[in-house]
Chain A
Amino acid sequence: MRRYISAYFEDEGNLLRAAKDLKENNISIQDVLTPFPVHGLDSILGFKKSLIPTVGFISGAIGTMVAFGFQTWAFTVDYPLFIGGKPHFAIPSFIPITFELTVLFAAFGMVFAFLIRSKLGPGAKKTIHDERITDDHFVIIVDLDESGSQDGKVKDILSKEEAQDIKVKEIEL
């Protein structure tokens, strides 16, 4: 059995303070759902830096090599042809396409990384916790232990920050 508590806030200021309080009391926060990115939340929840920029760099570098390598191979090895008095290995000529493919690969790499890591995509099965989350409510979902020893403390912290609809839910595993 897994137990958790969910509570709704109307203002991100309350949410931030509540999350900070909970973290300071070593209570694990399962998830926070917000209608827009709340600044400062990442650091309170202790998120590590996203690796998406790294993915972008690597896929971009692959794009660079594919594009430059392919053009070089096609024009110097596979089918060397004189065009407009340019050398076969015409570096300046290859740069525009190389640049474009670098950007293209990096963009695709990052978007796929984002979707896969977040398990988002067409037809992704996600439970919609509450329809107000994408509108004007901030939800915090806090894990509780089975014994219920933390319940009181968590509720205190939440209600101090004017949380509404504080509900304990249980799901059978």
Chain B
Amino acid sequence: MYVSPIREPLIRGQKTYKKITQDIAAPIEGKPGKAWYAGIALTGSALLFGLAMIGYTIWEGIGTWGLNKTIGWGWGITNFVWWIGIGHAGTFISAILLLFRQKWRTSINRSAEAMTLFAVICAGLFPLIHMGRPLLAFFVFPYPNTRGLWVNFNSPLLWDVFAISTYFTVSLLFWYVGLIPDIGTIRDRVKSKLKKWIYGLLSFGWTGSAKHWQRHESISLILAGLAAPLVLSVHSIVSMDFATSVIPGWHTTIFPPYFVSGAIFSGFAMVLTLLIITRKVLNLENYITVGHVESMNKIIIATGSIVGIAYLTELFMAWYSGVEYEQYAFMNRATGPYWWAYWIMMSCNVISPQLLWFKKLRRSLVFTFILSIFINIGMWFERFVIIVTSLHRDYLPSSWEMYKPTIVEVGIFIGTLGLFFTLFLLFIRVFPVIAIAEVKGVLKSSGEKNPKSDKN
């Protein structure tokens, strides 16, 4: 396969296959440093705080949250949508970019997909807690029961149950199938008997046989083909929780594709936030290069601009529709009591990513890192704006209300952040952060060329 010399190499530093294995396996084999312990202590305590708040909510009831008569969905659902959105980058990278033959995905797909799984776990917690009686959560599945009832297949909330559980399962399968050969590599490297046994069990007996590879490639491709529409469907269905209603600001047909775009946008922001640190700490700068960051920034600018166009379309249509409720809802978003949230959203999501049109900024790690945090914040506010501003002033002015979260809701959110980062910190100690076999596969075509020793 020919690669034009004007393309930037994806793997720097004239690596060999052996060197790749060593570099990527190093974090698993070495002892964790002080930074890792400090990190996990911090995220662990956030997690514990969150667990305490979850316990308190379940014990006392949802009354401990700041919800009220009109605003029945506050932080809980905001966080749910935010996390689900973050969970979209991983599968987008490994599925859609695979279909589009983007080789740069090989260095980031593994960790991004792990983030997907962790983000979906965090997201799933919120509806569960919000039910009030999480022990009865299995009621949402259509199983034959003594009440003789089925769940409501007409409800978007039920579609959500199916969408998110399918998404989690398929992402897990996809991720694990990709991981099997790499676990085999780790199995063959670890020295301790116990570790060898555990990795042996997890590697499913991988041998590297050519026939297995053929099937492995085939299944990866078809799973990618399935996962691509799945990614689109998940956030579309999440958006339908809102868009099937008749609430102004919620009921708008652009929601499905616009939510998907926003999800990929926020997902990439989170991937950048984490990988910019990870590549430094784990010495993977040769694999996750500035070129990779630039490519991700381009996706950010594309999806960010699509989101921007969607915002403008919504505003225009609200005016164009001639529906006074619709017009008020958008007026209220931009200039009402929550104007600050709206303008945080606008400036973080639409205006700030436009700076990435400058190549210098796209390739600046510091700038990208700061921007990615801004986008994370902006996308959180987007969901907050959609949910709260549309609910707090609905058709009945007598029940107009303001919404303020309590410490319990904030605590649960912090807890999920803790959960997410804890899981990620554990992940980088246990599994290879980069898909070893896939990177080896692109070494010849996209590695930095070694002028003297190219035998073939």
Say yes or no: is B240 at the interface (Cβ < 8 Å to chain A). yes
CB distance from B64 to the nearest CB of A (A): 31
Count A-B contacts at CB 8 Å.
Answer: 189
A129: chain B residues within 8 A (beta carbon):
207
Say yes or no: is B280 at the interface (Cβ < 8 Å to chain A). no
Report B201-226 CB contacts with A as 1/0, cut-off 8 Å: 11011111111111111110011001
Report A104-143 CB contacts with B as 1/0, cut-off 8 Å: 1011101100110111111111111101111110000000
Residues of A within 8 A of B (CB-CB), count: 66
Please, which residue of chain A has its CB at the minimum distance from the CB of B151?
Answer: A74
Pairwise interchain contact B223-A97, C-beta atoms closer than 8 A:
no
Say yes or no: is A27 at the interface (Cβ < 8 Å to chain B). no
**Distance of A137 Cα from B399 Cα, bound (Å):** 71
CB distance from A50 to the nearest CB of B (A): 4
CB distance from A48 to the nearest CB of B (A): 9
**Distance of A42 Cα from B391 Cα, bound (Å):** 58
B456: chain A residues within 8 A (beta carbon):
11, 13
**Distance of A53 Cα from B230 Cα, bound (Å):** 17
Task: Answer whether A118 and B215 are a contact pair too, CB < 8 Å, given A86-B154, A131-B189.
Answer: yes
**Distance of A125 Cα from B218 Cα, bound (Å):** 24
Please, which residue of chain A has its CB at the minimum distance from the CB of B150?
Answer: A74
**Distance of A11 Cα from B454 Cα, bound (Å):** 11
Interfacial residues of chain A within 82-103, with CB under 8 A of chain B in the complex: 83-84, 86, 90, 93-94, 96-97, 99-101, 103
B438: chain A residues within 8 A (beta carbon):
36
**Distance of A79 Cα from B213 Cα, bound (Å):** 48
Say yes or no: is A28 at the interface (Cβ < 8 Å to chain B). no
Please, which residue of chain B has its CB at the minimum distance from the CB of A90?
Answer: B154
Pairwise interchain contact A135-B21, C-beta atoms closer than 8 A:
yes
Task: Answer whether A111 and B177 are a contact pair too, CB < 8 Å, given A70-B142, A133-B207.
Answer: yes
Pairwise interchain contact A108-B173, C-beta atoms closer than 8 A:
yes
Task: Answer whether A120 and B455 are a contact pair too, CB < 8 Å, given A35-B437, A83-B152, A126-B205.
Answer: no
Pairwise interchain contact B169-A104, C-beta atoms closer than 8 A:
yes
Which residue of B185, B212, B240, B455 is within 8 Å of A134 (Cβ)? B185
CB distance from B104 to the nearest CB of A (A): 17
Say yes or no: is A41 at the interface (Cβ < 8 Å to chain B). yes
Say yes or no: is B278 at the interface (Cβ < 8 Å to chain A). no
CB distance from B113 to the nearest CB of A (A): 14
B444: chain A residues within 8 A (beta carbon):
12
Residues of B within 8 A of A (CB-CB), count: 66
Task: Answer whether A93 and B226 are a contact pair too, CB < 8 Å, given A101-B162, A118-B211, A136-B16.
Answer: no
Please, which residue of chain A has its CB at the minimum distance from the CB of B177?
Answer: A111
A32: chain B residues within 8 A (beta carbon):
209-210
Report A141-168 CB contacts with B as 1/0, cut-off 8 Å: 0000000000000000000000000000
Pairwise interchain contact A37-B216, C-beta atoms closer than 8 A:
yes
**Distance of A125 Cα from B204 Cα, bound (Å):** 9
Say yes or no: is A52 at the interface (Cβ < 8 Å to chain B). yes
B227: chain A residues within 8 A (beta carbon):
103
Say yes or no: is A170 at the interface (Cβ < 8 Å to chain B). no
CB distance from A162 to the nearest CB of B (A): 9
Which residue of A53, A83, A99 is within 8 Å of B222 (Cβ)? A53
CB distance from A26 to the nearest CB of B (A): 19
CB distance from B263 to the nearest CB of A (A): 17
A86: chain B residues within 8 A (beta carbon):
154
Pairwise interchain contact A121-B219, C-beta atoms closer than 8 A:
no
Pairwise interchain contact B166-A79, C-beta atoms closer than 8 A:
no
Interfacial residues of chain B within 172-201, with CB under 8 A of chain A in the complex: 173-174, 177, 180-181, 184-185, 187-189, 201
Q: Which 4 A-B pairs have the closest CB atoms?
A: A124-B205, A136-B17, A126-B205, A131-B188
Please give 18 more A-B residue pairs, beta carbons under 8 A apart, in addition to A50-B214, A107-B223, A110-B222.
A33-B209, A34-B208, A34-B213, A35-B208, A37-B437, A50-B219, A52-B215, A74-B142, A75-B153, A79-B149, A86-B154, A97-B159, A103-B170, A120-B180, A120-B206, A124-B204, A134-B188, A136-B17
Q: Using a CB–CB distance below 8 Å, which chain A residues touch chain B?
A: 11-13, 31-39, 41-42, 45, 47, 50, 52-53, 56, 60, 70-71, 74-75, 78-79, 83-84, 86, 90, 93-94, 96-97, 99-101, 103-104, 106-108, 110-111, 114-115, 117-129, 131-136
Can you identify 13 A-B contacts, CB atoms within 8 angstroms? A33-B210, A35-B440, A36-B213, A41-B213, A50-B214, A74-B150, A79-B150, A84-B154, A100-B159, A107-B173, A111-B223, A114-B219, A134-B206
